[in-house]
Amino acid sequence: MSLKAKMADWKCRLAGWFVDREFFMRSNGQVRFIRISAQLQRRVATVVGSVVGVWLIITLGMMVNQLSVSFERSMLSAKQERVESAEERVAKYRESIDEVADDLETRQKMVEDAVEQFGGDLPPAAETGTGAETADKIGAAIPEAKRLASIEARQIALAEHMTRIATIRSQKAAAAIREFGLDPKSLAVEAKEGMGGPFIPFFGKKQKQVRDPRFSRMFAALDQMNAMERALAGIPTSMPAAVGLMSSGFGYRSDPFTGGGAMHSGLDFKGPHATPILAAADGKISFAGWQGGYGNCIEITHANGLVTRYAHLSGFTVSLGQDVKRGVQIARMGSTGRSTGTHLHFEVRVNGSAINPMKFLEANPDVLEIQAVAGSSATGQSAGAQ
């Protein structure tokens, strides 16, 4: 069938859709009718079709716009890394080589300090990639700025190197925290509380001269690593006393006074009177005094929000508000409070609820090794902050 014949066939079909129509109505004994012409039907259909068509076009346009925005956002990071093109940086170097040199020297020292503080060997000198290419272009345009541009390329390589190191260490610390049955994210949030200090810009006073998003990513990665490692270092995995006999475990038991069933919220360690009681992890003394059935009691709040409790003590060797390190003596074993004999009652609490301390004291050696590295890092950062 030819195209002309097909068109004629479609016109006939359309004409069959729109014909004069009459609707009869009977009211109060009278018969009336309403007539809707084929022309009016075609006009109404045209208007409805136009409205639907416009709506579809607008909807399609919005979808295309959303896809475009999503694509632009996904490419933003890559674009930001090139925001200061070789031409822009050449212009900055032309404006003031001395100012650029001052900023680069400041940033170089802080980048190297970050590498030394957080660990990791320095990578080989960066002579490839976008940074090196930009340095070559700047050197070609301004020969005297070649060395400064090479330094900047080296700094970018160091930032990327530190980002990789921090990401790996964060993942290891998070995995170790999960081995204890704890949530890494919630502990990391707790570990970030109680921070402060004077503001010292990383880039120096002339930040606009040396901005680069790769350093922002490095800051974020180091911050996350620091929080995770502080949280891990604050988990109480050290024995609270140098004794080998555990006289009572965690959970339901027969009460030593009444003989009835009772919940025991910690571990009991039996030993000689005045046996040194040791901090199970770094933290701050948040309570030191008499506490009902616990007798003389010490509580340590750790960087991750965990609390350890040491009860039935005969005396204290620390004071309220004092910072203590893992393994240092904080008290002496005794039999004060509701106690049948000389021993230490040891608890670990999360958000006020007691949990079994054994899963911390019997940690996997590989996990303890990761914790030791995290503890060394946290100690170094604290010393640096002072």
In tens, the pLDDT along 222-262 reads 888 888 888 888 888 889 998 868 888 888 878 788 888 88
pLDDT at residue 181, rounded to an integer: 85
Torsion (CA) 318, 323, 327, 332 in degrees, nearest 10: 10
Backbone angles phi, psi at 248, to 5 degrees: -160, 135
Residue 216 has pLDDT above 60, yes or no: yes
Q: Calculate mean pLDDT across residues 48-52.
A: 86
| CA-wise closest residue to 227 among 271, 186, 288, 278 | 186
| Alpha-carbon distances of 290 from 25, 120, 362, rounded to whole Å | 95, 47, 30
| CA-wise closest residue to 294 among 323, 325, 268 | 268
Task: Kindly write down the DSSP assignment for every residue of 330-371, as one continuous string.
Answer: EEEEB--SS-SSSEEEEEEEETTEEE-THHHHT--HHHHHHH
SS (H, E, C) 287-323: EEEECHHHCEEEEEECCCCCEEEEECEEEECCCCCCE
Residues 243, 275 contacting (CB under 8 angstroms)? yes
pLDDT at residue 74, rounded to an integer: 66
Mean pLDDT score of the chain, rounded to an integer? 77
> Rounded distance, CA 240 to CA 83, Å?
55
Residues 92, 100 contacting (CB under 8 angstroms)? yes
Residue 206 has pLDDT above 60, yes or no: no
Backbone angles phi, psi at 335, to 5 degrees: -145, 45
Residues 99, 362 contacting (CB under 8 angstroms)? no
> Rounded distance, CA 165 to CA 173, Å?
12
List the structure tokens of 168.
């790996």
Backbone angles phi, psi at 308, to 5 degrees: -110, 140
Confidence of residue 325 (pLDDT cuts 50, 70, 90): very high
Chain segment 301-319, per-residue pLDDT in tens: 987 778 999 999 999 999 9
pLDDT at residue 209, rounded to an integer: 43
Half-sphere exposure of 20 (CA within 13 A, CB side): 4
Computed from CA positions of residues 285, 288, 292, 294, in that sequence, does the dihedral angle turn out positive or negative? positive
In terms of pLDDT, which residue wins out, 115 or 214? Answer: 214
- Ranges assigned E (strand) in the chain: 21-27, 30-36, 246-248, 251-254, 261-264, 267-270, 276-278, 283-290, 296-301, 307-311, 313-316, 323-324, 329-333, 343-350, 353-355
Q: Which amino acid is at 102?
A: D
Confidence of residue 208 (pLDDT cuts 50, 70, 90): very low
Residues 236, 343 contacting (CB under 8 angstroms)? no
How many CB atoms lie under 10 A from the CB of residue 133?
A: 12
Q: Calculate mean pLDDT across residues 155-169.
A: 85
Q: Which of 76-80, 251-255, 264-268, 293-297 has the highest mean pLDDT?
A: 293-297
Chain segment 60-118, per-residue pLDDT in tens: 888 888 887 777 766 666 655 554 555 566 666 666 666 666 677 777 777 777 777 66
pLDDT at residue 267, rounded to an integer: 92
> Which of 9-13, 119-123, 287-291 bottoms out in mean pLDDT, i.e. has the lowest?
119-123
Chain segment 179-199, per-residue pLDDT in tens: 888 888 888 776 665 555 455
Residue 353 has pLDDT above 80, yes or no: yes
In terms of pLDDT, which residue wins out, 75 or 324? Answer: 324
Percent of the chain with pLDDT over 90: 22
pLDDT at residue 81, rounded to an integer: 57
Residues 224, 192 contacting (CB under 8 angstroms)? no
Q: Which of 83-97, 119-133, 367-381 has the highest mean pLDDT?
A: 367-381
Residue 128 has pLDDT above 70, yes or no: no
